[in-house]
């Protein structure tokens, strides 16, 4: 992280979300086409993902802390078994689909639930490299997430690029709190879609990704996306299946791998940040 070096974490969200996503992420990890992923402990297929992580210690797997269940027909809910979760769920016991409901959740219930998610991952045999947040739900409870990151001594995804409704001023407060606890986070987090305009196909999406790579700023950047196979299961879950399949293909593409080499981009994982945060000698 010195001078103008560009370090890149190539990160897949949603490990455990469904079988098609598990198959994709396991393949990308095995091929080293991505350098990191985060596990959605709450999802129906999380055990498959967790078992893969537990039996492949080289996988860089964090926890995708989850407070929403956003698809119409395929659902999940809290894992906390020891406390009240009634402000976290809808009438069916699922997490709400949208962030507005999450914003109204009881803070103590949020804290207990995210701790339960990390503890469940540990019980499943996962040694998490970091934590991040599904759909950015942590933005409503950033202090809680930073305190939990400190408890487990884990780095945390944190973006200084303000999302809508979130001021730069409050982001500076968050950064100050994280710094005061010794929590590491990337210099940049990029979550742009690779399909930038409706109707773009694979080649345009790949070119958008290449442009992103060429435009990377110095420092540590996390580039996050949602790769998946495009099976009947995924198509039943989400209309975004085509984008997710492209996101599976793009970082396996020899042309993209060549760009990363040409641009002298150094690919790292979150484990490197965790090692620094924990003072682990190389």
Q: How far is the CB of 128 from its own copies (least distance, A)?
A: 16
Q: How far is the CB of 230 from its own copies (least distance, A)?
A: 10
Q: Which is nearer to its own copies, 176 or 235 (CB)?
A: 235
Is 236 among the residues that bind its own copies (CB under 8 A)? yes
Q: Which is nearer to its own copies, 20 or 131 (CB)?
A: 20
Cα 1 to Cα 8, 160, 177: the distances in Å are 11, 17, 21
Cα 33 to Cα 3, 127, 146: the distances in Å are 26, 21, 29
- Span from 1-9, 187-195, 217-225, 232-240 in contact with its own copies (CB under 8 A): 232-240
Token readout for 170 is 């409050």
Q: Which residues in 100-129 contact its own copies (CB under 8 A)? A: 120, 123-124
Residue reference for tokens 């639930």: 113
Is 18 among the residues that bind its own copies (CB under 8 A)? yes
Is 239 among the residues that bind its own copies (CB under 8 A)? no
Cα 81 to Cα 116, 118, 260: the distances in Å are 8, 13, 44
Q: Which residues in 48-87 contact its own copies (CB under 8 A)? A: 48, 51, 72-76, 79, 81, 85-86
> Residue from 15, 45, 194, 251 that binds its own copies (CB under 8 A)?
45
Q: Rounded to 5, what percent of the chain is helix, strand, coil? A: 45, 10, 45
Spatial distance between the Cα atoms of 156 and 150, rounded to a whole number of angstroms? 9
Q: Contact, 189 vs 155, CB < 8 A? A: no
| Residues at the interface with its own copies (CB under 8 A) | 18-20, 22-23, 43-48, 51, 72-76, 79, 81, 85-86, 89, 91-93, 120, 123-124, 229, 231-233, 236-237
């Amino acid at each position: 992280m010195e001078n103008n070096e560009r370090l890149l974490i190539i990160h897949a969200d949603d490990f455990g979300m469904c079988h098609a996503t598990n198959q994709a992420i396991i393949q990308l990890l095995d091929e080293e086409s991505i350098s990191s992923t985060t596990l959605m402990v709450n999802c129906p297929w999380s055990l498959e993902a967790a078992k893969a992580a537990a039996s492949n210690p080289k996988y860089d797997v964090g926890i995708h802390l989850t407070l929403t269940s956003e698809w119409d027909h395929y659902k999940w809910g809290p894992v906390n078994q020891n406390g009240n979760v009634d402000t976290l769920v809808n009438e069916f016991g699922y997490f709400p689909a949208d962030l507005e409901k999450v914003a109204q959740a009881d803070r103590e219930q949020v804290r207990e639930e995210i701790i339960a998610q990390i503890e469940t991952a540990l019980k499943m045999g996962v040694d998490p490299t970091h934590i991040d947040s599904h759909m950015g739900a942590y933005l409503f409870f950033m202090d809680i997430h930073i305190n939990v990151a400190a408890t487990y001594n884990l780095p945390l995804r944190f973006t200084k690029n303000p999302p809508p409704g979130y001021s730069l001023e409050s982001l500076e407060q968050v950064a100050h709190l994280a710094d005061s606890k010794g929590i590491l986070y990337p210099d940049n987090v990029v979550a742009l879609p690779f399909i930038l305009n409706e109707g773009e196909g694979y080649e345009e999406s790949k070119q958008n990704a290449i442009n992103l790579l060429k435009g990377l700023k110095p420092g540590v950047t996390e580039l996050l996306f949602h790769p998946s196979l495009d099976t009947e299961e995924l198509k039943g879950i989400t209309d975004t299946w085509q984008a997710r399949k492209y996101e599976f293909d793009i970082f396996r593409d020899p042309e993209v791998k060549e760009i990363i080499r040409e641009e002298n981009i150094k690919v790292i994982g979150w484990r490197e940040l965790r090692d620094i945060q924990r003072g682990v000698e190389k």
